[in-house]
Amino acid sequence: MRRLLLSALLLVTACGDSATGTLVVEPGDAAGFTTVRGEGFSIAIPADWLILDKETFDAGGAFAEVEASGLPVTADQLVAIFEQGGMLFALDVADAHPEFVDNINVLRLPPLGVSVDGMADLVRSELAASGIPLDRSGVAQLPAGDSFFYEFGLPALGTEHITYAFAQGDYSWQVTLSALDVAPRRGVFERIMDSLRFEE
């Protein structure tokens, strides 16, 4: 279940044309988004968010930057996310709250061996077993492919989450928005999900 619910305890962003570990970050566009290319995927992220991947985190510099910023993120949280298959984390550092940083994460996981409908059954079952009610869910047809999306809250943390799960080739993928309030983030997240592409 932890793998299915890895609900973004953080995300980090960068501006300009640069490489962030195994990620390549392209210059921002007129709409304020930058394209990030990683192993097997590309995605548009707001250009003023901070971006982090496992290689950068392992090198130590990226976490030092996060730690120096005073954001409510710990090394243990980052390690847990990357150990679960984290490929990218992007944090809205400009609009961070003392208790939480709104973020997006991209996870690449082992194949679940099920279709999108089977994935929906699995997620619903695991959430129900954990006592986490679904606020909304369904199948979405996106440019990156068919996806099962689900929305849920974690009252103990005071956070809300939207996850899109995909079965693509040799992997299953999840993209999650985690925020104190997802409502004002929906437009940005829709743009992000429309930009997502999986690559061989």
Q: What does the alpha-carbon distance between residue 143 and residue 159 come to, in Å, rounded to a whole number?
A: 28
Dihedral (CA of 136, 139, 141, 147) sign: positive
Superfamily name and number for 2-198: Mog1/PsbP, alpha/beta/alpha sandwich (3.40.1000.10)
**pLDDT score recorded for residue 165:** 93
Check if the beta carbon of residue 34 is closer than 8 Å to that of residue 48. no
Check if the beta carbon of residue 143 is closer than 8 Å to that of residue 197. yes
Surface-to-core class of residue 86, CB atoms within 10 Å of its CB (0-12 exposed, 13-18 middle, 19+ buried): buried
The string of pLDDT tens digits covering residues 105-160 is 999 988 888 888 888 888 888 888 988 889 999 999 999 999 999 999 988 888 99
Of 77-91, 106-120, 135-149, 186-200, the poorest mean pLDDT is in 77-91
Higher pLDDT, 10 or 75: 75
At 20, is the pLDDT very low, low, confident or very high (cuts 50, 70, 90)? very low
Q: What does the alpha-carbon distance between residue 168 and residue 11 come to, in Å, rounded to a whole number?
A: 23
**pLDDT score recorded for residue 176:** 93
Q: What does the alpha-carbon distance between residue 30 and residue 87 come to, in Å, rounded to a whole number?
A: 26
Domain spans in the chain, listed from the N-terminal domain onward: 2-198
